[in-house]
Amino acid sequence: MARPYEAVYIFDSALEEPAITEKLTRYHALTPQPAGEEVKFNHWGKRTLAYAIKKRETGYYVIANFKAEPSQLPEFERAIKLDDGVLRHLVVADEHDYAPVRDASDRKFEEDDE
């Protein structure tokens, strides 16, 4: 079952937006989306970093929301780690969009002592 994820990328600020979008499309091609679902990108643009990363003072921030199988994430993250244009990244499960269905066996019932 595909779960929603949110990924934050900090790219080298020397990269232009079209190059970044091409890289993101390539990364997310490794995680086939369920029918009718797309990867949603939010380009924050160039921002000053809190501390220097790889001798860079600024980075280009992008947030992506997508759905993927948990088994697909290792290959996805491996592709990101191999790219020198990515200064930092973080992928987390987006718990706001994910509500697992529970059945009655998951519930704990309390008995009245009266």
Q: Which domains does the chain have, with CATH numbers?
A: 3-97 (3.30.70.60)
DSSP string, the chain: --EEEEEEEEEETTS-HHHHHHHHHHHHTTSPPPTT---EEEEEEEEEEEEEETTEEEEEEEEEEEEE-GGGHHHHHHHHHT-TTEEEEEEEE-TTT------GGG--PPPP--
pTM of the model: 0.75
Ordered per-residue pLDDT tens for the chain, 114 residues = 888 999 999 999 999 989 998 998 888 888 777 777 888 889 999 999 999 999 999 999 999 999 888 888 998 899 999 999 999 999 999 877 544 444 444 444 444 444
